[in-house]
Amino acid sequence: MAAGVSNTTASTDWGKADFEAIYNCPDPRRYFTTLQPLDYQIPHHGQAVFRAVTEALQRRRSDRPPLSVIDLCCSYGVNAALLNHRLSLTDLYSRYTGLATRTPATAQLAQEDRTFFATRRRPEAARVIGLDSAEAAVEYAESAGLLDRGFSENLELVDPSEEFRQSLAGIDLITVTGGVGYISERTYARLLDCMSSPPWVASFVLRTVPYEQISALLARAGLVTEKLTTRTFRQRRFADGDERRATFAALAARGLSTVGKEADGFYHAELYLSRPAADAAALPLAELLPG
């Protein structure tokens, strides 16, 4: 599960529990209250990585502030919230699960959120465009001020609209925290077709899901893909024994061991960063993200 994934046209046969009901609600409350007991944490890891990546990218493109980012499977704007604001994932859990004594209507919550996030916005905030086929989630992220623009288009099935295509001019970075598998190289290809030069691409990918077709597509676009080999990143706990068994079977089919990783009861994701060869040579991934 990404920081919101509702685009389910690509292969999803790795046995994950069905959380479809939480991805397209009018506001994020059900999303956070459902995922908190499962210790859903990949956006926390994404925050640290994406900030490091955007800082490195900004240093190399200092003539183009602020950076422009497109977040795939953006859902309620969780990655944008953590990238651009003085907040942690724990803060977001507290905010959206702590409304037991007060249940504001969605419009009121969005208005309150707009103020909440505006007062915590980082001066170096990036311009963030969000893409997710969950229309209500994208609309909420826009109304709360987390996305500069949001689009509920399914690029697995159709080409981008002209409005979306125009919004992609000058994109510096593509991010995704777990949506690969729900989206495939088809989405990446349609995005790249809209861009005059390929951006950096930072993808968290569950170990059950292959990334080779996407990295091959990016290579044809002139990008070198590095995988962080020093660690993996917990995504969330398995919802039940069925998920655990299906995950272990999928990993075994890929020749991967669960020792020290999924054996701890969590899905684990790997990080891939794709950049032009000169950028990768100037700052290898292991140096960009030491430890």
CA distance 206 to 200: 20
* pLDDT at residue number 15: 62
Look up residue 71 and give its DSSP letter.
E
Burial status of residue 16 (CB atoms within 10 A of its CB: 0-12, 13-18, 19 or more): buried
Kindly state the percentage of the chain with pLDDT values over 90.
86
Q: Yes or no: say if 42 and 101 are a contact pair by the CB < 8 Å rule.
A: no
CA distance 28 to 87: 16
CA 258 to chain centre: 24
Cβ atoms within 10 Å of 35's Cβ, excluding its own: 20
Sign of CA dihedral 159, 164, 170, 171: negative
The list of the chain residues with pLDDT below 70 reads: 1-15, 99-102
Domain 20-286 CATH class label: alpha beta
* pLDDT at residue number 101: 55
Tokens at 141, concatenated? 């992220």
Q: Who's near 131: CB < 8 A, 6+ residues apart?
A: 70, 71, 72, 73, 74, 138, 150, 151, 153, 155, 164
* pLDDT at residue number 86: 98
pTM of the predicted model, to two decimals?
0.93
Q: Where are the domains of the chain?
A: 20-286
